[in-house]
Each structure stands twice: as structure tokens, then as C-alpha cells.
Amino acid sequence: MQREFREITKKIPRDLVREKTLPDGSKVHEWGPFVYGYSVTIGPDGKPQIREFGNVKPEARFGKPQLSIKEEREPLVDIIPSDGEVRVIAELPGVEKEDIKLHGTENSLTISVDTPQRKYYKEIELPVKVDPKNAKSSYRNGVLEVILKKKEEEKPKGEPIRIE
């Protein structure tokens, strides 16, 4: 166990380790925050969809389970497509609206926050092409909501040709 703890300590990003002085003058090291979680929902096809979030990810290397620890947390995100839009809802507790950066393309949405207290990062592949120029977003009580209008499908250019 001691060997495993030594290995984990080597992988922890420096920003997640702090030294704290106690009232008696002694010093202790604080680690964290470490967050790992998952959400299970049933998709439209009836199959379960599992989404992980946090800054700790389990990995298997050379048949041995390992932990990957990052400074940025991956927020829990729901993607809800409807008739004319795609709604993305992300949980970003503990940040201010001004600290959130959004970047959209027709295929993806990137959410990032980089403050001394909190770091979040998530790149989301969207299920359909959207128009990022007309996106609307709001942030209340730690929940970010982004509404992206679906891009209209382009019709083939030219005229149909009849085969004789």
C-alpha cells in the first residue's frame, strides 16, 4: 500500500498539493480536491449511457489499474437534442459567470474555466451540426445552459438529370 501511495503522490499535479500551517506551528500537506463520479441514463435506443466526470479517471496500463489525475475537472454534462435545437447543460459549481469561456464550432462545444480556485474543461461532440453564431447561454446557481440552433441541412446544388 505504501508503494501505491508513493506512486499516486508522484502523479498529483502541483496545484492540487498545498502546505498548511496548523495553530501549533506544525505543517501538513493537503491534497485535492479529487472528484470522480458518473451518471447513468437510458438513451433513445433503450441502452444505458454512462458519462464520467471529475478530475480522476481510472485507466488500465499493462494490465494494472492506474489513476490519471488532472488539474482540471470534467463537469457533468447533459446533451439534449430536440426538433430545432441542441441544449447543453453543464454543472460548474463554485465559479462566476465571467470566468466561463465557451467556444463553439458546428460540430463541438468547448467549456473551460481557469481560476485559482476551480479549473474545469470539457470538449463536447455535438450529435448534429449547429450554428454557433446564434447560440444563447445562461448561468444560474452553478448550472450552465447553452442552446444551439440546429443547422439546416444543405440541399444538393445543381439540377437533377434524367437518365434515358
Judge contact between 81 and 88, C-beta under 8 A.
Answer: no
Q: pTM of the predicted model, to two decimals?
A: 0.70
Domains, the chain, in order of start with CATH, read 1-73 (no CATH), 75-151 (2.60.40.790)
Q: Which three cell numbers stand for residue 81?
A: 437534442
SS3 10: helix
Count of Cβ atoms closer than 10 Å to residue 120 Cβ: 25
Q: What is the 3-state secondary structure (H, E, C) of 1-14?
A: CHHHHHHHHHHCCH
Q: Which three cell numbers stand for residue 119?
A: 479549473
Q: Which three cell numbers stand for residue 135?
A: 447560440
Q: Given this model, what pLDDT does residue 27 score? A: 86
Q: Given this model, what pLDDT does residue 154 score? A: 66
CA atoms of 143 and 12, how far apart (whole Å): 28
89 confidence band (pLDDT: 50, 70, 90) = very high
Pairing state of beta strands 77-81 and 17-21? unpaired
Structure confidence by residue, pLDDT tens digits, 40-86:
888 778 899 888 888 887 776 676 667 777 888 899 999 998 888 99
